[in-house]
Structure 1
Amino acid sequence: MPGTLVLVRHGQSEWNLKNLFTGWKDPDLTEKGVTEAKAAGVALKDKGLSFDLAFTSELSRAQRTLSLILKELGQTDLETRRDLALNERDYGDLAGLNKDDARDKWGEEQVHIWRRSYDVPPPGGESLKDTLARTLPYFVTDILPEVMAGKNVIVAAHGNSLRSICMVLNRLNRDEIVGFEIATGVPLIYELGADTRVTASETLSSK
């Protein structure tokens, strides 16, 4: 019988707060982000969940979120695998820029296209399609088999890398995924059947 898969977007980062494009840059969590991560851990504990294996990206905001969650669960020694396949979408030349400044430079319509289209990348960066192309193979070869083997698995990563996974789990098309939002620090819980299809899902809001 398959285990449970939990996806968590990292808590608010310093650059989220400053309205900056982050991508592969590596800012830390804000105080609110720390609170969100701890609340996610408490919510998972209240749900009665514990984990056999964890995955995260190469970026510290996701790693710290995972660490804070596992501390609340009393699982600080849990086996954790890190991989850049789970990194946030690379925003290229936009990384580090204030989103309003980017609109002033390139125009609101162009920035909106870069942010919300499926397959148009910003200069020097990745589209959502590009992010999916590196995230999904890792999910299929490294994460999904562990869940199908009966392990409870938690993945702490980023908005766009997790959207790539959710696109497959939720069977969303390219138009639906661009509008699919994942809140910071809110666990998404998936139960899978023997055919890997989702049999139940839940968004676990903290109290």
Structure 2
Amino acid sequence: MKYQGRIQQWDDAKGFGFVEPNGGGMRAFAHIKAFKKRSRRPINGDIIVYEVEQDKKGTLRAHDICLLKDYKAKRSHANKQTSQTKRNAILLSIFFGVLALFTLSGRVSFMITILYGAISLLTILLYGIDKSAAKKDKWRISEAKLHLLSLLGGWPGALLAQQMFKHKRSKSSFMRVYWVTVMVNLILLGLVGFEVINTQAFMMDI
């Protein structure tokens, strides 16, 4: 269970103090090592979000501590990612639905649908390799290659890989180029469908 409280008697040199929950209750010991990904060192009066555990001596200890500002930022980021995931799922559902419709109606060759699937799988694989290489500080796959795959039809796979591996999606410069490749690919797909329709109409006139 998470509590919200205020730090008191904080000794920054020793890296510990106490926290009293808002609304009253038993105070708990708080150590600097119990803070998660803090944006700065805590000070007296800081409001924190934390959980409580009891050690072998019966002392209450705060753990899994976040500064309130960091906690709110983390929640906001999580909500943003959830919203982004839903948006991406809707986009992919619409795309594959339209692609299936175009394929069944003969406007797009079945081979193009297969290519989208194959290139998307390759793109997911390369995103995974690049993510692993980034963690191990090894040779990376160039962003140009990842964008080229998206442009050639692997953008659905890239979108899935960004969510699966939490890779590249927070890099704004990369994502701007990525969405350009998506738009260009969709335009080219639309032109292919339009050309097929015109060809079919011409053949019917003959």
TM-score range, shorter chain: under 0.3
Q: By percentage of residues, which structure has more helix?
A: 2
Q: Which has the higher contact order (CA 8 A, sep 6+)?
A: 1
Alignment TM-score, normalising by the size of structure 2: 0.26
Higher Rg: 2
